[in-house]
Amino acid sequence: MSENARKYLDPKVVSRLSNLELIARLVVEGFIVGLHKSPYHGFSVEFSEHRQYSPGDETRYIDWKVYGRTNRYFIKQFEEETNLRAYIILDASRSMAYSSGDNITKFEYACYLAGALSYLMMMQRDAVGLVIYDEGIRKFLPPRSVRSYLDVILHELENAKPENKTNTAKSLHLIAERIKRRGLIILLSDLLDDQDEVISAFKHFKHKKNEIIVFQILDPLERNFNFNVDALFKDMETSEKMMTQSLYIQRDYRRALNEFIKRYRFECLNNGMIMRLWIQAHRLMLRFLDI
C-alpha cells in the first residue's frame, strides 16, 4: 500500500465509515447504490483478473489460452461498468484550514473522509471521481472504477492545500455544468458561505437529476463557541479582525449557528437531499451526529 493510502485510509476510519448506510435510498431507475457487488459480468470496460472455474459458471468466459498452458479452467473477470458514478467534492478554501487545540484541521478531516469513502466505493466496484475547489474548480478527476485509480485520488488529497478564498456557490454551479451524466454528489465542506447562493447551487445538481449527500464539517470550537475570555478573532480568508467579549455573545452565536445549520438541513430534506453534520473529533474518533 502506498504512503498516500496509509495516511488517508486509517483502518479505524474505514471500519467506522463502512457502517454508514450512505446511499440505501438511491435506487431509482437502475441507479444502483453499490452496497453489493454488481451482477453484470460481460458488460465490462477493463479486464481485472482470473479465477478458477466453478460448476455453474458460464463457459463463454473460460480463458482457453490459460487452459492450454495449465490444463486447468479459469474464468475471466472484469471491472464492471457500474451504474453508480460518484463525485466527491472537496472544499479546499482557507477556512477549512482551521483547527482548535490539538485537533486536526477541518481540511485534513475532510481528506480522511474523502479517502475512506473513495476506498469503500471502489471496493464495491463503483466509479469515483474527485473535485477540489476554492474560488473555482482547482482539480477535476472524472469518475473511474478501476482500483488503480484510488492512488490517483489519494495523491491529489495528499498534495491539496487549503489556500484561497471561498466561493462555494460559483464552484458548485461550474461543477454541475461539467457533469454530463447523472450521479451521486458527495460534498465535504464547512458551508460557511452565502447560504442562499449555496442552496441554489444544490438545486442545480438536483435539476440535473443527481443525488446529493452533504457533509458539513465543523471544528468543535466553531460548533460550541466555548471561549471563556475576551478574544481577538481573525477571518482566515479576509484577514479582518474583531475583538469580542466571548461570554456575552456565546448564546447569540450558538443560536445563530443552529439556525444556519437547521436551514441547510431543512432545504436538503425538502429537496430530496441528505445532509449531515460532522464535528471533527480528537484523534480522528468520528462522531456521526443528527441535529
Listed residue (237, 228, 182) closest to 204, CA to CA: 182
Q: Is the CA virtual torsion 108, 178, 87, 272 positive or negative?
A: positive
Q: What confidence tens digit (pLDDT) does each residue in 220-256 have?
A: 888 887 777 676 667 667 777 777 767 667 888 889 9
Residue 52 binned pLDDT confidence (cut-offs 50, 70, 90): confident
How many residues does the structure list for the chain?
291
Q: What confidence tens digit (pLDDT) does each residue in 168-218 have?
A: 999 999 999 999 888 899 999 999 999 999 999 999 999 998 989 899 999
Is the pTM of the predicted complex or chain greater than 0.75?
Answer: no
Q: Is the CA virtual torsion 4, 33, 198, 246 positive or negative?
A: negative
Listed residue (108, 123, 90) closest to 15, CA to CA: 123
Ordered structural domains, the chain, with CATH? 3-30+82-289 (3.40.50.410), 44-80 (no CATH)
